[in-house]
Amino acid sequence: MTLSSIQARHYNTTEPIVVSFDDGVICDISPLESSSENLLVLAPGLVDLQVNGYGGQEFNDPELSTEKVLQICLAMDRDGVTEFCPTFTTQSFELLQHSMATVAQAIEEQADIADRCTVLHLEGPYISGEDGPRGAHPLEHVRPPCWDEYQKLQSAALGKIGILTLSPEFPDVGQFIKRVVDSGVVVSIGHTAASSDQIAAAIDAGATMSTHLGNGAHGTIRRHPNYIWDQIAADELTCSLIADGHHLPTAVIKSIIRAKSPERCVLVSDITGMGGMPPGKYTSTGIGDVEILENGRLVVPGQSQLLAGAALPIGTGIVTLLETAGLDLATAVHMASSGPAKLIKHELAPLEVDAPVDLVFFQIRNGKFEVHTTVNRGRIVYQSS
């Protein structure tokens, strides 16, 4: 299904407009003389750099197939996401090789998959083995960086690894980071217990991003210096934030954004296979036994304070930034769309005449981000009932 025209409020100006389309391309944008207060907001499609799975399905799956990859891709439409990075967390080489090869081949073979994801995110296995920084990554598969192994994984991924999250706390990791960066891949610091000198060396070697800053950390760290302050202070690093209302307190989100500026911050969901699932207890998932509470919080069963990952889409973060971080709509949307798109060099067209359209029409009602329509490459791929 394709669009002809639609009335909405522009996310950047909040002004009412009518947008006309021809063959999936914007051909006219005009002011709307009279409008309803209930117009949807029109914004660029959302871009999520960290998606581990959705709807009960994980990318880290020994039985992953093209059909399962497509299932996740199509499910992302309902959240207004028009581009995302399938994310593969710390596991055995064999499982990572299988999962990444499956997704990469699916991108090559299925247009519906290629329209939604082209860049893969490898989060680990070269991370800290310490409790806290390691997060939920299995200790038995944590290991130091290995160029030969990484090259084999990149080969299995058909060259599609675009983000590598690692900890720079290993000996001689600077040379490894430089080689990865020189190959055109974004190196992101995450799940780390690195010292200030190690953080600085990683930046000197070309690291340009921080993965879900403030999470994947010790419960208690020294006041200063520490690896969180070091990354906040580094202008070279763009940090991703999980702003789902559960992973970071409001004060932390506000402080990081104010210190780094919205231009150096992006939102991610870090959503797991429990995303899109109804509240309740689930057994034998890819991350063990879990429970989704009524507020969307994903926890260890019976322990509501112990997070077991993320289960809310990236649009939730936009609402969090509006309601608790004091940002305007344009800035919050930028952090979930054009900001992350820039990091992976994804061409997210501006809302201008002659631009191809990856769009989301949404409203924020009762504190929730509600998607009405998602348009991917000029095609309507989702409409709410």
Same domain as 165, residue 178: yes
Same domain as 58, residue 92: yes
Same domain as 127, residue 16: no
pLDDT of residue 102: 98
Q: Is 317 helix (H, G, I), strand (E, B) or coil?
A: helix
Q: What is the mean pLDDT of residues 31-50?
A: 89
Residue 128 clears pLDDT 80, i.e. is over it? yes
Same domain as 97, residue 11: no
- Length of the chain, please? 385
Domain residue limits at 279: 44-343
Model confidence at 286, pLDDT cuts 50, 70, 90, reads low
Q: What is the mean pLDDT of residues 42-62?
A: 95
> Residue 123, class by beta-carbon neighbours within 10 Å (0-12 exposed, 13-18 middle, 19+ buried)?
buried
Identity of the amino acid at 271: I
- Rounded-to-integer distance, Cα 51 and Cα 334, Å: 18
pLDDT of residue 20: 86
Distances (CA, A) of 299 to 5, 155, 281: 43, 36, 9
Distances (CA, A) of 110 to 113, 118, 215: 5, 11, 34
Residue 187 clears pLDDT 80, i.e. is over it? yes
Least confident of 99-113, 177-191, 205-219, 368-382: 368-382
- Contacts of the segment 199-203: beta carbons below 8 A, 24+ positions apart: 199/168, 199/227, 199/230, 199/231, 199/234, 200/230, 200/234, 201/168, 201/173, 201/174, 202/168, 202/173, 202/174, 202/177, 203/234, 203/236, 203/237
pLDDT of residue 2: 61
pLDDT of residue 22: 82
pLDDT of residue 234: 98
pLDDT of residue 1: 58
- Rounded-to-integer distance, Cα 49 and Cα 81, Å: 11
- For residue 252, the surrounding DSSP H or E stretch is helix 250-260
The pTM assigned to this predicted structure is: 0.96
pLDDT of residue 110: 97
- Rounded-to-integer distance, Cα 31 and Cα 39, Å: 13
Q: What is the mean pLDDT of residues 336-365?
A: 90
Residue 184 clears pLDDT 80, i.e. is over it? yes
Strand positions, DSSP E, 71-128: 81-89, 120-123
Model confidence at 26, pLDDT cuts 50, 70, 90, reads confident
Distances (CA, A) of 153 to 96, 120, 134, 270, 382: 7, 11, 21, 21, 33
Same domain as 127, residue 38: no
Tokens 């800053």 belong to which residue?
A: 213
pLDDT of residue 218: 94
Same domain as 269, residue 253: yes
Same domain as 365, residue 307: no
- The highest-confidence range among 202-211, 270-279, 369-378, by mean pLDDT, is 202-211
Residue 341 clears pLDDT 70, i.e. is over it? yes
Same domain as 314, residue 359: no
Residue 78, token pair as written in the block: 């309902």
- Reported as a single tens digit per residue, the pLDDT across 298-308 is 887 887 777 77
Q: What is the mean pLDDT of residues 344-357?
A: 83
The CATH number that applies at residue 324 is 3.20.20.140
Model confidence at 378, pLDDT cuts 50, 70, 90, reads confident
Same domain as 378, residue 252: no
Same domain as 317, residue 174: yes
Same domain as 232, residue 83: yes
Q: How many domains does the chain have?
A: 2
- Give the chain's mean pLDDT: 93
Residue 207 clears pLDDT 90, i.e. is over it? yes
pLDDT of residue 3: 67
Q: What is the mean pLDDT of residues 14-23?
A: 87
Tokens 């010790």 belong to which residue?
A: 218
Strand positions, DSSP E, 39-179: 41-44, 46-51, 53-54, 57-58, 81-89, 120-123, 161-166
- Rounded-to-integer distance, Cα 171 and Cα 202, Å: 11
Q: Provide the pairing of β-strand 368-376 with 379-383.
A: antiparallel
Q: What is the mean pLDDT of residues 18-26?
A: 83
The CATH number that applies at residue 369 is 2.30.40.10
Same domain as 17, residue 36: yes
- Rounded-to-integer distance, Cα 98 and Cα 69, Å: 13
- Rounded-to-integer distance, Cα 91 and Cα 286, Å: 11
Distances (CA, A) of 245 to 164, 318, 351, 368: 26, 11, 29, 12
- For residue 333, the surrounding DSSP H or E stretch is helix 329-334
User: What torsion do the CA atoms of 123, 126, 129, 131 make, to the nearest 10 degrees?
Assistant: -20
Residue 129, token pair as written in the block: 């083995």
Q: What is the mean pLDDT of residues 340-353?
A: 88
